[in-house]
Amino acid sequence: MTEEPVPIIPEEKTPAPLPVDEAAEYTKRITRTLIAVGAGCIAGIICFFTDKATTSSGAGSSFLFPILVMIASIIIQKHIFMLIRIDTTKLEKKDWFYQGFITFAFWYVTWTILLSETTISS
């Protein structure tokens, strides 16, 4: 029996992965977090002033408008990211969940602090 020669298959040349600039990625993550914090605080302040305006005019208080303000502040973040040249296509579901949670947390805390009468009157 003779052995058949094994055909030599040329190696496929795959391009080397691009180096990741860790400092730039870290800066982008910090920037995204600060934008979420700012959006949450601004949404809480908007909810505080609109709540004061509606209750003083006798229109009553609704919880639907503050929820819509908070959701709008999450959606606006995508446009802010595009303005400052952060690629939103690379953000995954967990990243958007993080953005939404941070915005929600700061919205809730800011609005609650502003609504507490003891903090304002002291």
Structure tokens at 78: 């995508």
Mind listing the pLDDT tens digit for each residue in 35-78?
999 999 999 999 988 877 666 655 566 778 889 999 999 999 99
- What pTM was estimated for this model as a whole? 0.74
For 27-72, strand residue ranges (E) read none
Helix, strand, or coil (residue 77): helix
User: Are the beta carbons of 116 and 67 closer than 8 angstroms?
Assistant: no
Helix, strand, or coil (residue 75): helix
Structure tokens at 40: 């949450």
